[in-house]
Structure 1
Amino acid sequence: MPIYAYKCSSCQYEKDVLQKMSDPLLEVCPECKQSTFTKQVTAAGFQLKGTGWYVTDFRNQGGSKPADSGTASTPAAPATPTSSSSS
């Protein structure tokens, strides 16, 4: 279902509404009750419902595991140069 952004031109109230494409447009502002509530032109937003989507089916299967953020590796101490000078 698409998510539409609405804005009132009277009181500047904004709201995102989840509604079917066949639903009538909202015209009355829920805040000020004026009939100046209009749909905004925005990027498409939608919700994926049901099974068969990546988030529900493949979240923890395969692929590489993320780095463990709980353990911090300590860098090795730099090696001290050994001087073998003979006089």
Structure 2
Amino acid sequence: MPIYEYRCSSCGLKKDVMQKISDEPLSVCPACSEPTFGKQMSAAGFQLKGSGWYATDFKGSGSKPECKSEPSGNCASSCAGGNA
């Protein structure tokens, strides 16, 4: 279950609440009972590290690799990305 950060704009209470994604967001502050308790934006609790698909496939300069398998320059049949 994800943990959501809440803050009351009336009294300033900050609280982390573990809820299901399908649960309704809380709106009433547990400290002052005002309807000003809302979710805060926060960073994700995980990071993707290592040599994944992004680092190896899409992080380059954006240029497509040249096809050198066909001397005529028509590499539609031999390259995966060729347009026929």
TM-score of the pair, normalised by structure 2: 0.52
Deviations 1:21-57 (A, max 9, x none): 00000000000000000000001248xxxxxxxxxxx
Superposed counterparts of 1:1-87, under 5 Å: 1-45=1-45
> What is the TM-score when the length of structure 1 is the normalising length?
0.50
Bigger Rg, which one: 1
When the two chains are superposed, the root-mean-square deviation of aligned CA atoms in Å is 1.3
Unpaired runs of 5+ residues, structure 2, are 47-84
Deviations 1:44-77 (A, max 9, x none): 248xxxxxxxxxxxxxxxxxxxxxxxxxxxxxxx
Q: Which 4+ residue blocks in structure 1 deviate beyond 2 angstroms? A: none
